[in-house]
Structure 1
Amino acid sequence: MKETYAAVLRKIEEADSIVIGASNGLAISGGYNIFAENAAFIENFGDFCEKYGIRSILQGAFYSFPSQEEKWAFFSRMYMYFLENEEVSPAMKNLYELVKDKNYFVITSNTDAHFELAGFSKERLFEFEGNCRKLQCSNSCHDDIYSGDHVLREMAQKQQNGKVPSDLIPQCPKCGGPMQMHVEVDRNFLRDPSWQASYDAYQNFIKTAHGKKLVLLELGVGFRNQLIKAPFMNITNNEENATYITLNKGEIYIPQEIASRSIGIDGDISAVLAQLVQLK
């Protein structure tokens, strides 16, 4: 295994460009599991489980709550679960330490806002399913995205009996309609100008890396997340100087076509990143 770690570190150090693709497996390795009915979920959302039968954060995010007061009780609590102390996991800290001096770009389906907290530049970050710190108009009457930190924290702190005070519920400043968290839970999700700019920056990064030593570092991306996995594999297949590195626990898949230019490590991502930083 030491030889594999050394090979990964060598590829990262030699790379002209690094594209990081991250999904839920990375968050899970840091202790944030949106799929699980675990102790952390019961501690933070146990009343929602008891009242509505919600058994995971993901299920709650897609749940049709009977009122805005109850909906925002859940989403503001979710915000606090991710960001209460504005701390990031050792996995995120080690990932940043590994690439901070490199020419990197991050594409992620995670909405917990932890990449910026860890130090990653927002200009080098494409959160294609949104960010739990942001709000948008539910009616999509315009495409501005708003900071939600203040109101989300206040709703979380002042909610009682699974409801937030009605006067705290955010309303669209233009149409007066309901707001929602800017995460992709329905068809109302806005691909606003900042979303489009991040997408364009990602595409431009890939184009600029053409022909150079490129590492595609995939972290915790399950096979079903083809929005990250498929492009990474295609780029590796088409770029002769590209290396595909995938870290995941219990699920490593490398097609034969790119096997000679790929490295897979099956294990706890947090532990693997810690080992890589230690070797560095």
Structure 2
Amino acid sequence: MKEKYSKVITKIQEADSIVIGASNGLSISEGIHIFADDSSFQENFGDFRKKHGFRSIIQGCFYPFPSQEEKWAFFSRMYEYFLINKEASPIMKNLYELVKDKNYFVVTSNIDAHFTLAGFPKERLFEIEGNCRNLQCSHGCHNQIYPGDEILSKMARNQENGKVLPSLIPKCPECGGSMQVHIEIDGNFLRDKSWQTMYQAYQEFIEKAHGKKIVLLELGVGARNQMIKAPFMNLTNLEECATYITFNKGGELYIPDVIAAKSIGIDGNIAEVLQQLVKLK
């Protein structure tokens, strides 16, 4: 295993460009499992579980709440769970330490906003499905997202019986209708100017890396998440000087034969893997 770690460090050090792709497996390694009915979910969302019957954060995101007061109680609590009084985890700090001096770009489907928490600059970060701290019009009446930290914090602190005060519920500044957290839970998800800008930045980063030494560093991306995995594998196949490096656990590690010679896979706890790599660096 040490030989594999050394090879990963060498590839990262030699790379002209690094593209980091991250999904739920990275969050799980931090202790946040949005798909699980675990002790953490029951401790933080047990009242919603009892009243509404859903069994995970992701089910709560898609749940048809009977009122705005209950909807915002859940989403503001989710925001609080992800971000309030939190520092960057050792895992995210180690990931940042690993690449901070390199030419890198991050693409992620995670909605917890933990990359910015760890110091990754926004101009190097494309959050495909949005994040938990921004708001948009529920009807998509206009193409703009809004920072929601202040109102989400206030709603998280002011809840009673699984509801927030009606006076705290945000309204769309244009149509006066309901708003929602800017995460992809329905067809109204806004790909606004900032989303388009970061999508473009991601594409341009890959274009500029063409023909050079590029590392595709994939963290906790499951087989079903093809919006990150498929482009990474295709790029590895197409680019002569590309290296595909994937960290995952629980049988989720998969490297197709066509790119096996240009790939490194480490099956194990992502937290431990990153810690070992930073030590070697």
Instruction: Please indicate the TM-score interval, normalised by the length of the shorter structure.
Output: over 0.9
The residue aligned with 1:55 is 55
Q: C-alpha displacement at 1:247, in angstroms?
A: 0.2
Structure 1 segment 163-182 matched on structure 2, within 5 A: 163-182=163-182
The residue aligned with 1:258 is 259
Q: Quick one: which amino acid aligns to residue 35 of structure 1?
A: F
Q: Quick one: which amino acid aligns to residue 7 of structure 1?
A: K
1:95 equivalent to 2:129? Answer: no
Structure 1 segment 119-268 matched on structure 2, within 5 A: 119-250=119-250, 251-268=252-269
The residue aligned with 1:112 is 112
Q: Kindly report the root-mean-square deviation, in angstroms, between the aligned alpha carbons of the 2 structures.
A: 0.5
Distance 1:248 1:141 in 2: 40
Distance 1:38 1:271 in 2: 22
Q: C-alpha displacement at 1:131, in angstroms?
A: 1.0
Report the TM-score when normalising by structure 1: 0.99
Q: C-alpha displacement at 1:141, in angstroms?
A: 1.0
The residue aligned with 1:84 is 84
The residue aligned with 2:73 is 73
1:27 equivalent to 2:19? Answer: no
Q: Quick one: which amino acid aligns to residue 75 of structure 2?
A: F
For the 8 Å contact 1:26–1:220, the answer to whether it is kept is yes
Per-residue Cα deviation, 1:208-243 (whole angstroms, up to 9, x for no partner): 000000000000000000000000000000000000
Per-residue Cα deviation, 1:2-57 (whole angstroms, up to 9, x for no partner): 00000001000100000000000000001111011111111100001111111100
Q: C-alpha displacement at 1:84, in angstroms?
A: 1.2
The residue aligned with 1:274 is 275
Q: Quick one: which amino acid aligns to residue 182 of structure 1?
A: H
How many residues in Structure 1 have an aligned counterpart in Structure 2?
280
Report the TM-score when normalising by structure 2: 0.99
Comparing 250-259 and 16-25, the one that deviates more: 250-259
Q: C-alpha displacement at 1:139, in angstroms?
A: 1.3
Structure 1 unpaired stretches of 5+: none
Distance 1:76 1:13 in 2: 41
SS of 2:163's partner is coil
For the 8 Å contact 1:134–1:149, the answer to whether it is kept is yes
Per-residue Cα deviation, 1:147-199 (whole angstroms, up to 9, x for no partner): 10000000010010000000000000111000000000111100000000000
SS of 1:40's partner is helix
Q: Give the ranges of 4+ consecutive aligned residues of structure 1 lying more than 3 Å apart after TM superposition.
A: none
For the 8 Å contact 1:31–1:89, the answer to whether it is kept is no
The residue aligned with 2:43 is 43
Distance 1:271 1:64 in 2: 38
Q: Quick one: which amino acid aligns to residue 256 of structure 1?
A: D
Q: C-alpha displacement at 1:86, in angstroms?
A: 3.2
The residue aligned with 1:9 is 9
Distance 1:155 1:216 in 2: 39
Per-residue Cα deviation, 1:79-108 (whole angstroms, up to 9, x for no partner): 000001131211111000000000000000
